[in-house]
Structure 1
Amino acid sequence: MQQSRLRPEPRGAQGRSGPELDFQRTVSRRLVHRAAVAEVFVTDALVLGEDRFLVGGQWPRDHALYHPDAQRGSDPLLFAETVRQALVYLAHWHYEIPLGHRFVGYDMDFEITDPVALRVGGRPVPVELDASWEWTDRRPPRRYGARLEVALSVGGRACGRGSLRIVALDERSYRIIRGPQGGACAAPVAVEPRRRVEPALVGRLRNKDSVLAAGPSPAEWLLQPDLDHAILFDHPTDHLPLMVLLEGFRQLGHLMTCSAAPRPEGRAPALVSAAVDCLAFAELDVPTRLCVREDRTVDDVSAGDARTGRRLLRLDALQGDTLVASCASVWAPVSLATATGRPGGQSVSHA
Structure 2
Amino acid sequence: MRQTSIVSRPALEASAPATRTAYDSNGEHGLSFQQPVPRRLVHRAAVAEVLLTDSVRLGEHRFLVAAQWPRDHALHNPDAAGRTDPLLFAETIRQMFVYLPHTYFGIPLTHRFIGDGLSFDFEDAAPLKVGAAPLDVVLEAEWTWVGNRPPNRYGMRLDVVLTIDGQVYGRGRISGIAVDERRYSLLRRRDAGACPAGDGDAVERTAVAPAAVGRLRGKDCVLERGVRDGSWWLRVDTDHAIFFDHPSDHVPLMVAMEGARQLGHLLVHNGGPGAPLVLVSAQVECLAFGELDVPTELVVEEADEPTGDPSLRRLRISSYQNGRPFVSITTLWSRPVAPRLAYIPTQAARP
TM-score range, shorter chain: 0.7 to 0.9
The letter of the residue matching 2:72 is: D
- Displacement, 1:117? 7.1
- Displacement, 1:245? 0.7
For residues 296 and 174 of structure 2, the distance between their equivalents in structure 1, rounded to whole angstroms, comes to 23
Pairing 1:166–2:166 present: no
Question: Which segment drifts farther, 192-201 or 88-97?
Answer: 192-201
For residues 180 and 302 of structure 2, the distance between their equivalents in structure 1, rounded to whole angstroms, comes to 38
- Displacement, 1:7? 6.1
The letter of the residue matching 1:283 is: E
The letter of the residue matching 1:282 is: G
Matches within 5 A, 1:280-291: 280-291=288-299
Matches within 5 A, 1:4-153: 4-6=19-21, 19-114=29-124, 118-153=128-163
For residues 158 and 191 of structure 2, the distance between their equivalents in structure 1, rounded to whole angstroms, comes to 28
Match of 1:323? 325
Question: Is the Cα–Cα contact under 8 Å of residues 281 and 324 in structure 1 kept in the other structure?
Answer: yes
Matched residue SS, 1:83: helix
For residues 281 and 125 of structure 2, the distance between their equivalents in structure 1, rounded to whole angstroms, comes to 11
Match of 2:254? 243
Matches within 5 A, 1:246-257: 246-257=257-268
For residues 322 and 50 of structure 1, the distance between their equivalents in structure 2, rounded to whole angstroms, comes to 40
- Displacement, 1:136? 1.3
Matched residue SS, 1:228: coil
Alignment deviations for residues 296-318 of structure 1 (CA, whole Å, 9 cap, x no partner) = 111477xxxxxx61101111111
Q: What 5-or-longer segments of structure 2 have no aligned partner?
A: 1-15, 344-351
Matched residue SS, 1:232: coil
- Displacement, 1:262? 2.6
Match of 1:3? 18
For residues 20 and 315 of structure 1, the distance between their equivalents in structure 2, rounded to whole angstroms, comes to 41
Question: Is the Cα–Cα contact under 8 Å of residues 205 and 227 in structure 2 kept in the other structure?
Answer: no
Question: Is the Cα–Cα contact under 8 Å of residues 298 and 310 in structure 1 kept in the other structure?
Answer: yes
Match of 1:349? none
Match of 1:347? none
- Displacement, 1:189? 8.3
Q: What 5-or-longer segments of structure 1 have no aligned partner?
A: 9-14, 183-187, 302-307, 345-351
The letter of the residue matching 2:19 is: S
Which has the bigger relative contact order, CA under 8 A and spacing at least 6?
A: 2
Alignment deviations for residues 146-171 of structure 1 (CA, whole Å, 9 cap, x no partner) = 11100001111100000111211111
Given the alignment, which residue of 168, 188, 194 partners 1:178? 188
Alignment deviations for residues 251-294 of structure 1 (CA, whole Å, 9 cap, x no partner) = 11001011xx23333x1210000001110111000011111111
Match of 1:200? 211
For residues 308 and 140 of structure 2, the distance between their equivalents in structure 1, rounded to whole angstroms, comes to 29
Alignment deviations for residues 189-226 of structure 1 (CA, whole Å, 9 cap, x no partner) = 87227332110011100000000111253222101122
Given the alignment, which residue of 184, 200, 212 partners 1:191? 200
The number of residues matched between the two structures is 321
Match of 2:347? none
Question: Is the Cα–Cα contact under 8 Å of residues 306 and 312 in structure 2 kept in the other structure?
Answer: yes
Question: Which segment drifts farther, 319-328 or 123-132?
Answer: 319-328
For residues 26 and 171 of structure 2, the distance between their equivalents in structure 1, rounded to whole angstroms, comes to 22
Match of 2:10? none
Q: 1:16 to 1:236 in 2, by over 3 A?
A: closer
Matched residue SS, 1:49: coil
Pairing 1:212–2:226 present: no
For residues 54 and 224 of structure 2, the distance between their equivalents in structure 1, rounded to whole angstroms, comes to 39
For residues 276 and 79 of structure 2, the distance between their equivalents in structure 1, rounded to whole angstroms, comes to 10
- Displacement, 1:16? 10
For residues 311 and 122 of structure 1, the distance between their equivalents in structure 2, rounded to whole angstroms, comes to 31
TM-score by length of 2: 0.86
For residues 159 and 25 of structure 1, the distance between their equivalents in structure 2, rounded to whole angstroms, comes to 23
Match of 2:286? 278
Matched residue SS, 2:137: strand
Question: Is the Cα–Cα contact under 8 Å of residues 52 and 131 in structure 1 kept in the other structure?
Answer: yes
For residues 341 and 191 of structure 2, the distance between their equivalents in structure 1, rounded to whole angstroms, comes to 50
Question: Is the Cα–Cα contact under 8 Å of residues 291 and 317 in structure 1 kept in the other structure?
Answer: yes
